[in-house]
Structure 1
Amino acid sequence: MKNLKFLLITLASGVALISCKDEKQTNAEKEVVAYEMYVDSLNNVALSDLKTNWDSIENDHERRKIAAEVALQDLENREELEGKILVSSDKYELYKANYLAQQPKAATKSIVRTALFGSEDIGDDMAFTWVNKNNILRVYDNFTSTVEKNKESYSREDWDEIKLYYEALDTRKNTVENEGLSGSDNMKIASIKFKFAPLLKANRMGSKAEENSEAKE
C-alpha cells in the first residue's frame, strides 16, 4: 500500500511538472507569435505616417519584445523561438532605421550628450561603432541612471534629444547581439530597458504638457 501511494504521488508530480512545462512552452510561443505579428503589421504603415505615432510604436514594440524574451527564460529548448525573435527584431530595426534616416540628425555635441556618453564621440550619424559586446551593458546602465538622476532638470528639447540617442543606441544593440552579446548581459539590458521605457515616456509627455501649458499662459 505504501509503495502504491508513493507511485501515485510520483506519477502526479510528473504530470504536474509536464503540465507546467507545457504551459510555459505554450505561453512562450504565444508571446513570440504576438511579437512577430506586430512587427509584420508595421509594413502596412507608411513611413510618412509615423511622425505622430512613433512614440506608441516604439513603446509597443519594446513591450512586446521584452515580453517574448522573458517568456523564454525558463525554457530548456528555446533556440527556435529565440531565432524567431531575432528575425523579427532585425525586421523592426530595418524599419526603424528607414524612419530615423528621414529625421533631422544632431549636428552639435550638447551638455546632455556629454553626460550620457562621457568623452565618447558617438558621431553625428549616431552609429555608436565604439559600443560592443563588452561595454554595451555599461553604456545602457550609465545612460539610464544619468537620465534618472537628472530627470527633473531636463527641458522638452532635452527629452527629445535623449529619446533620439536612446533609439540610436537600441539600433546599435541589434548589431551587437549578432556579434556575440552574452545571454546574461542581454537579459540585464532587457531589464534596464523594461524599467526605463515608462520613465522616458512619462517624463517626455509631462514635459510637453508643461510646455503647452506655459505657452497658453
Structure 2
Amino acid sequence: MLSRRHIIEGTAALGLVAAFPGLALAQRRAAAETVDVAQLMQPGPLGDVSIGKADAPVTIVEYASLTCGHCATFHTTILPELKKKYVETGKVRLVFREFALNQLDAAVYMLTRCMLGADGKAGEGVDQSRYFALIEVFFQQQRTWAFGGNPLEAVTAITRQAGMTQAQFEACLNNQAILDALNTTRERASTAFGVESTPTFFINGRRFLGAQPAAEFSKVIDPLLPA
C-alpha cells in the first residue's frame, strides 16, 4: 500500500521520466492512428470522470500524468481555450483518465479520486467538481509539489485546502482497491490502446499526441462537428 513514504520516494522516479522524453513518443508514432471507439469508451473499474455534455458529437479521451510537465501545460494554458470554444458550447466532451508514471503520481491520483468518495468511484449522481478542482490545483502548482524539496508537505497542504482531513488522507493512501484500479486503467491504456507517453488524446478514436496548440486540436475537432 502507498504511504507518506511513497510520496517522498516517488520523486526519485521523476528523473527517469524526464531522462528519455523522446523514446515513448517515437514508439507511439509507429502505433495505429485510430482505436476502436466502443472499446475505448468502456470505463475503468473506478468509472470515468468527464466534463461536457454526454451527447456531445466529439469525445476527447485524455490519458495524463499529474507529474508530467506537458500535461500541466495542456491543462493550464490550452484546455481553458478548448473549454470555452467547445466544451461549454456542447460540442465536445472531455474524458480524463489517470495514467500514473511513478509512485508519487499514483499517490496523488489516489488522493484526487478520494475527493469523489471513500471508494474513489465516479458513479451516477456523484459530484465530480471537487475532483476536477483538485486536479486543476495540482497541475497549477506542479512545480511546488512534484519538483520541490518536500512533496509530502506540499501535497498535504493542497489536500487540506481542498477539505481533506489527515485521517482521510491516511486512509486514502492505504486504499489498495483504488491503487489496483488505477493500475488497471494504466495497464489497459498501454496494452489495448498503445499509450506510453503523456498526454495522449483520442479524439473520436483518433490518436493525438502531446500538448499541441489549441489550433491543432481544432484542425481535428472541427471536421467532426455537424455542419
Q: TM-score under structure 2 normalisation?
A: 0.29
Higher RCO, 1 or 2 (CA under 8 Å, sep at least 6)?
2
Higher Rg of the two aligned structures: 1
Structure with the bigger percentage of strand: 2
Structure with the bigger percentage of helix: 1
